[in-house]
């Protein structure tokens, strides 16, 4: 294992997905990384498997955040080594100045980890409070984010705003999707991400019915291409279609 002090937006997103944290827009991640005071990452076999970073005022206060070790690498001392490296970076910084307060809001069940890394926990003196702010133009009260992988062709037709119906089987996972939710599509060929808002769900018994209700360009075909509901059998068998039904998720590209 080695420690490095920089990372890409893609590595950041991968680690967040690995521990089930929410996905941010790439441009926001780029900005966060650029404006971090300190970053530390653990690398195993050329892969970044853990991270932590500090945001702050470059003078007196900093917040430790995004402390993550990929689940399959946890409990091997990697998290502690990352925090040790962050500590070394802060100590070197403070030795040129006066003093620095590093704060954090640990998620449930992790206080012991931070105590083992040398943090003080004195709830009798100091308790943590926080407030989330969300873009009210994007998020409704109970809006959820969903991740979906796509091949390049459908990904690019959504990006061009020609395709606005994403077709899936209506299984347990997809029945969680509601209008106003956000779908983050990931291009499985190059990792590019795109945010879309769910406008409406169109539910049918099978793809034959679905295809009768939309024009082929909305579904992702080119004008000069033949559209055939059997194309969906490459992804979902007839049996699955009749077991769950299918859904056309009407979407609108955000940004
Ligand atoms: C919290 C997290 C970063 C710890 O990383 P890790 O690599 O598993 O931790 P380490 O193996 O370096 O553990 C260091 C020490 O803390 C202990 N420890 C780690 N997690 C602990 C926990 N949740 N509760 C109690 N002790 C814990 C370890 O047993 C070890 O003790 P030791 O030094 O006596 O052997 C990791 O579990 C994680 O990524 N969790 C998901 C994301 C998350 O919740 N991050 C924290 C947000 S505040």
Residue bearing the CA closest to ligand 1, atom 46: 67
Instruction: Tell me the per-residue pLDDT of 24-80, one tens digit each, with 9 for 90 and over.
Output: 889 999 999 999 999 999 999 999 999 999 999 999 999 999 999 999 999 999 999
The yes-or-no verdict on residue 19 having pLDDT over 80 is yes
Backbone angles phi, psi at 142, to 5 degrees: -115, 30
Predicted confidence band at 134 (pLDDT cuts at 50, 70, 90)?
Answer: confident
- Ligand 1 centroid vs 56 CA: distance in angstroms? 23
The yes-or-no verdict on residue 23 having pLDDT over 90 is no
Out of 12, 75, 82, mutate this one to test ligand 1's pocket (max ligand atoms within 8 Å of CB): namely: 75
Q: What percent of the chain has a predicted confidence (pLDDT) above 90?
A: 85
Question: What does the pLDDT read at residue 9?
Answer: 95
Q: 198 has which bridge partners?
A: 251
Helical H runs in 181-237? 207-213, 216-219
Q: Is 80 in the pocket of ligand 1 (CB under 6 A)?
A: yes
Instruction: Tell me the per-residue pLDDT of 91-131, one tens digit each, with 9 for 90 and over.
Output: 999 999 999 999 999 999 999 999 999 999 999 998 888 89
Q: Is 32 in the pocket of ligand 1 (CB under 6 A)?
A: no
Backbone angles phi, psi at 62, to 5 degrees: -145, 155
- Ligand 1 centroid vs 110 CA: distance in angstroms? 7
pTM for the model: 0.82
Where do the domains of the chain lie, and which CATH numbers do they carry?
2-116 (3.40.630.30), 145-253 (2.30.130.30)
Give the number of the atom of ligand 1 that is nearest the alpha carbon of residue 114: 16
| 50 contacts: CB under 8 Å, gap ≥ 6 | 15, 41, 42, 68, 69, 70, 73, 78, 79, 82
Q: What percent of the chain has a predicted confidence (pLDDT) above 70?
A: 100
Q: Is 24 in the pocket of ligand 1 (CB under 6 A)?
A: no
Q: Is 113 in the pocket of ligand 1 (CB under 6 A)?
A: yes
Give the number of the atom of ligand 1 that is nearest the alpha carbon of residue 70: 39
């Amino acid at each position: 294992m080695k420690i490095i002090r920089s990372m890409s937006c893609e590595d950041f997103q991968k680690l967040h997905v690995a521990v089930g944290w929410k996905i941010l827009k790439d441009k926001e991640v780029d900005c966060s990384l650029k404006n971090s005071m300190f970053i530390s990452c653990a690398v195993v076999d050329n892969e970044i498997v853990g991270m932590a970073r500090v945001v702050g005022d470059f003078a007196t206060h900093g917040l430790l955040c995004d402390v993550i070790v990929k689940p399959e690498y946890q409990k091997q001392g990697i998290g502690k080594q990352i925090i040790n490296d962050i500590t070394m970076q802060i100590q070197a910084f403070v030795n040129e100045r006066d003093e620095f307060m590093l704060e954090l809001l640990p998620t449930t069940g992790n206080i012991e980890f931070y105590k083992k890394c040398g943090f003080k926990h004195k709830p009798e003196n100091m308790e943590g409070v926080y407030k989330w702010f969300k873009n009210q133009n994007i998020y409704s009260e109970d809006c959820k984010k969903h991740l979906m992988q796509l091949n390049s062709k459908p990904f690019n037709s959504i990006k061009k705003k020609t395709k606005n119906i994403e077709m899936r089987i209506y299984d347990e996972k997809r029945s969680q999707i509601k209008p106003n939710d956000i779908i983050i599509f990931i291009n499985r060929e190059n990792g590019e991400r795109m945010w879309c808002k769910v406008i409406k769900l169109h539910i049918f018994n099978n793809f034959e019915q679905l295809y009768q209700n939309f024009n082929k360009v909305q579904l992702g075909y080119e004008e000069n291409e033949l559209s055939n509901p059997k194309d969906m059998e490459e992804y979902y068998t007839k049996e699955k279609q009749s077991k769950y039904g299918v859904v056309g998720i009407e979407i609108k590209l955000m940004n």
